[in-house]
Amino acid sequence: MSSQPYSAADNPSLSRDLQVAKERPALVHSLYELKSSALSLAVDDHNIYCGSQNHDIAVWNKTSFTLKHTLQGHTGSVLALELAQDKRWLFSASGDSTIRVWSTATLLPIYVITPHLETGAGDLFSLAWSSALQTIFVGCQNTSLQWYTFTSGSSASIPMASASTSSLHELNPGSGTLTPGSLTRKAHKFFDSYPIYERRAADLLAQNSAAQMPMTPDGTTPLPGSPVPYAYLQIPFNNVLDSAHYGYIYSMMAIEDERRDDATKLVTGGGDETVKVWRIPEETRVPTLVGEFNCGHGAVYSIVSTRDTIFAGCQDGYVKVLDLETNSSVRSILVEEGVDILSMSIIGTDLYTCSADGQVRRWSASFDCTAAWPAHEGIVLSSAICSSDRWAQLFTGGSDHFIKVWEVPVPRAVDANTNGECLPTPSTCISTLQYALAKFVAFPSISSISSHREDCRQTAIWLKKCLNQLGATSSLLPTGEGRNPMVLATFSGVQNGKIKPRILFYGHYDVISAPKDGWESPPFVLTGRNGYLYGRGVTDDKGPIIAVATAAAELLSRRSLHADLVCLIEGEEESGSAGFDEAVRKHRAQIGTVDAILVSNSTWIGEQEPCITYGLRGVVHCAVEITNSMTDVHSGVEGGRVKEPMLDMIKLLSTLTGEGGRVTIPEFYDSVRPVTDDEKALYELLSSITKQPATSLSARWRDPSLTIHNVEVSGPGNATVIPSTVKSHISIRIVPDQKMDVIVESLQTHLKSAFETLQSPNKLQVTIEHTADWWLGNLEDPYFNALEASVREEWGTEPLRIREGGSIPSVPWLEKEFGCHALHFPMGQSTDHAHLPNERIALTNLARGKSVIQRFLQAISNSP
């Protein structure tokens, strides 16, 4: 890992920068597009077609890169181009509310297609051709999805009066050209209109269309002798799906697979932040919605796919990776935050993204950036790609009026079983784990220091983006004024015909302070050394959080996550979890129902044997304060005359414990659960492994205790001052089956009663500052058994069942709130130095911990 600190907030992307060379790909050629933005591109074996803002379509020879022809007829910007290779046709859609069909063999116009409602459909943003259905689909500004099917003898077609027999013969033979029908269509108010001075209504004989009188680039003088289309076609009303999106339909593509029964699917992306998947039956050709993805990152401007994987380029710099087969989101790629992804192209496993900042980037199958370069001095508006065996040409069009041709490599062949899709392997995900953890650790998210409050908020923002990129839907949950937000993220499993288990994973992104003294490397720079990763929070609790998240991400990428994993990550755990309970109750509906709670927030008992934690002690934090009515005074002046608060405090604290440290609060031990024979056997086993006495383990884990932490005084604290106020902090660790309210009341009663016996004029104040109940797991719970089996399978040995002397306040509370059992799987080793300098975690523990989570999620999904 790098020893140089960096700001993770500046670049929250989880995709590694793996650029081998910083040079841009070879620029093969530049084409200057007639002082007009290149809005759309298409490429076939012979030509490059560019739809421009100036209404024309420039046709360039692909070999000589010379301007071959200009297709004229549109009266609005050419927003989309689509090739029908099987018919040797080119479709163009425009802001003039028409689709035009051109022969790629003769470069002559064939048809003009008018959408239903004509100009009421608005700009036509996107096109998709289905060769299997012989249908062109159109995405409209009025949010409708429309389509036209080409069949012989279509009643919607009619020959133009000026279309000669010779011009018909120029059409590509075998292209499936329509035979003009005998029925007439409705006159078009624009294309069939007369000059305005004639004051005549439009009719079919007017022959005054824009197709017959195309304009010059300056829009003034008609060009004489221009060819006219063979026929005008009208999309019928029953070929319209109104409100297909709740926004403009900016992008679409048809997916056809001859190996499937439902051969044709249509994928559309809209301004409503959604991608929709439509099944097109051959019998009806009417789209039926079969899947919908809420991308959550602005309008979907571009869509490409490789078989069952869809890539959706969004408005604010994200690419959503969607799985068609399981109807789930598997990943997000953060290209450049806030910079629109306007076009994408894909070849093999390489994805090229074109952005509004003029940049083109290449992404590998494991979502790593393998190349990036400034392609245009302006916005990259369009792209297309064509390839040979080893090298391909990427065509990009920009607002700088240029079309540029780049030489790019063709990815090496992948395993045939992946059908052209190279999915992330476990080793790739481990690298993603480390990369994400490095960014996570870089945030000094210290919740106990107010000056780090903004660091904590930025950590939460980054973590939300991180989990979103890994495939979860994520959001921030407020916990109250001046408190750090929680992160809620849900990895949604695919359906397998059964009810999906729903697991709540609880963790915390805040850490304790990390003074530099004692650290061998900077605490907020992830540093690898001798098989360990060092940094504040790597074991408590940032490392386990990323391990769990990447485990779910990898299952998603394999389409193998059949459970819902809900991550609830708070930012106040190290300082008392302020506002946690109220926030969870307030947002309970967003969290949803829960079948089990999973925690990973402690360490093993040793170094080698994996463990499962099944018990935690509870805690009561109490502040005791004794004050007199005077100010601080000099002991040489007032010593012996005043009743000193310090002496009262010493006497009072001495009443809390007796011989051997036994707590003397009345009835303190009455409810403690007796030690069972099974427990004794377990302690003996653990004693033989850890070389610690069994009585020591019992005292740490399952016996209650009382600790006096400090004594604070008012004044300067020097040896001549009698302080007027003395304050002490004590804590009690409670165990099953001690009742929290009974212990709290007994402690307060004992302190007040003992103080009264001192007959002191001073005042006593007892404040309960924080409580957390004890927790004991259910060893017979099926989820516990599944987790234990997963650890056993991963390490090849029986995990040790251990308890912890510390407390995690949220665990027992979450159990009671959601009415289910909690599970605690520690990933760290006993020497990980949590809360100490040189905090660390073993790389192998993170990797195997991730694997355990995957095994567990799969096991509970397969259980009856």
Judged against a pLDDT cut of 70, whether residue 28 lies above it is answered with yes
Q: Is residue 842 part of a domain?
A: yes
Q: How confident is the model at residue 189 (pLDDT cuts 50, 70, 90)?
A: low
What is the structure's pLDDT at 706?
96
Between the two ends of the chain, the Cα-to-Cα distance in Å is: 44
Residue 748: partners with Cβ closer than 8 Å, 6 or more residues away: 766, 768
Q: Binning pLDDT at 50, 70 and 90, where does residue 190 land?
A: low
Here the tokens at position 801 are 């069942």
Give the pLDDT confidence score for residue 65 in this predicted structure. Answer: 87
Residue 258's pLDDT is 57
* Predicted confidence (pLDDT) at residue 707 exceeds the cutoff of 80: yes
Nearest partner of 505 among 467, 545, 447, 473, judged by Cα: 545
Residue 415's pLDDT is 38
Q: Name which of 729, 749, 730 is nearest 741 in CA terms.
A: 749
Same domain, 378 and 487: no
In this prediction, residue 525 carries a pLDDT of: 93
> pLDDT, tens digit, for every residue of 65-89?
889 999 999 999 999 999 999 999 9
* Same domain? 456 vs 604: yes
Q: For 744-761, how does the pLDDT look when each residue is reduced to its tens digit (9 = 90+)? A: 999 999 999 999 999 999
pTM of the model: 0.78
Same domain assignment for residues 480 and 569: yes
Pair 663, 745 in one domain: yes
Summarize pLDDT for 193-212 with one digit per residue, the tens: 666 666 677 665 665 443 33
Q: How confident is the model at residue 267 (pLDDT cuts 50, 70, 90)?
A: very high
On whether both 77 and 45 belong to a single domain, the answer is yes
pLDDT single digits (tens) 92-102: 999 999 999 99
Q: For 255-269, 426-440, 667-681, 721-735, which range has the lowest pLDDT when averaged over its residues?
A: 426-440
Q: What is the pLDDT of residue 203?
A: 66
Express each pLDDT in 562-572 by its tens digit: 999 999 999 99
Please tell me the predicted confidence (pLDDT) of residue 118.
86
Measured between alpha carbons, how far is 554 from 432 in angstroms, rounded to an integer? 10
Say if 217 falls within a structural domain: yes
Q: What's the total number of domains in the chain?
A: 4
Question: Counting Cβ atoms within 10 Å, is residue 234 exposed (0-12), middle (13-18) or buried (19+)?
Answer: buried
Beta bridge partners of 253: 267
Q: State the pLDDT at residue 611.
A: 95
- Whether 370 and 498 map to the same domain: the answer is no
Average pLDDT of span 410-435: 51
- Are residues 501 and 413 part of one domain? no
Lowest-confidence segment of 362-366, 658-662, 685-689, 793-797 by average pLDDT: 685-689
Q: Establish if 783 belongs to a structural domain.
A: no
Is 429's pLDDT higher than 60?
Answer: no
Active site residue 573: yes
Residue of 308, 573, 595, 794 with catalytic role: 573
User: Other CB atoms closer than 10 Å to residue 117's CB: what's the count?
Assistant: 17
Average pLDDT over residues 148-163: 49
SS3 per-residue string spanning 708-730: EEEEEECCCCCCCEECCEEEEEE
The reported pLDDT for the residue numbered 211 is: 37
Residue 160 pLDDT: 33
From 340, 510, 554, 644, active-site residue: 510
Q: Which residues fall within 8 angstroms of residue 663, CB to CB, at 6 or more apart?
A: 656, 657, 669, 704, 705, 706, 732
DSSP codes of every residue in 759-812: T-SSEEEEEEEEEE--EE--TT-HHHHHHHHHHHHHHSSPPEEEEESS--THHH
Average pLDDT, the chain: 86
Q: Do the domain assignments include residue 270?
A: yes
Among 423, 447, 480, give the residue marking a domain's end.
Answer: 423
Active site residue 815: no
Q: Are residues 217 and 312 in the same domain?
A: no
| Residue 151 near residue 129, CB atoms below 8 Å | no
pLDDT (average), residues 207-225: 41
Is the residue at 175 inside a domain?
Answer: yes
Instruction: For residues 424-450, give the mean pLDDT.
Output: 78
Q: How far is CA 37 from the centre of its chain?
A: 33
Q: Where do we find the tokens 């940094």?
A: 535
* Shared-domain flag, residues 716 and 740: yes
pLDDT of residue 642: 87
User: Cβ distance 610 to 603 under 8 Å?
Assistant: no
Packing angle of the helix pair 542-557, 843-862 (nearest 10 deg): 50
The CA distance from 489 to 89, in Å, is 46
Please check whether residues 258 and 356 belong to one and the same domain.
Answer: yes
pLDDT band at 328 (very low <50, low <70, confident <90, very high): confident
CATH number, domain at 813? 3.40.630.10
Query: Could you tell me if 53 and 183 lie in one domain?
Result: yes
Residue 119: per-residue pLDDT: 87
Please tell me whether residues 577 and 633 are part of one structural domain: no
As beta bridge partners, residue 860 has none
User: 125-136, pLDDT tens digit by residue?
Assistant: 999 999 999 999
Residues 464/476, Cβ–Cβ less than 8 Å: yes
Percent of the chain with pLDDT over 70: 86
CATH number of the domain that residue 172 is part of: 2.40.128.630
| Contact indicator for 276, 244 with CB cutoff of 8 Å | yes
Q: Would you place residue 192 in the very low, low, confident or very high pLDDT band (cuts 50, 70, 90)?
A: low
Within-domain flag for 294:
yes
Q: Which of 756, 772, 788 is at the close of a domain?
A: 772
- Give percent of the chain with pLDDT exceeding 90: 67
Comparing 434 with 488, which gets the higher pLDDT?
488
In a domain, 27, yes or no: no
3 state DSSP class of 447: coil
Range of the domain at 472: 426-592+600-609+796-862
Last residue of a domain, one of 219, 241, 263: 241
Q: Which residues pair with 300 in a beta bridge?
A: 314
738 in a structural domain: yes
Tokens of 127: 């096109």
pLDDT tens digits along 836-847 = 999 999 999 999
Q: Which of 602, 616, 613, 618 is nearest to 733 (CA)?
A: 618
The predicted structure's pLDDT at residue 194: 63
408-418 in b/e form (b: 16+ CB < 10 A) is: bbbbeeeeeee
- What does the pLDDT read at residue 697? 85
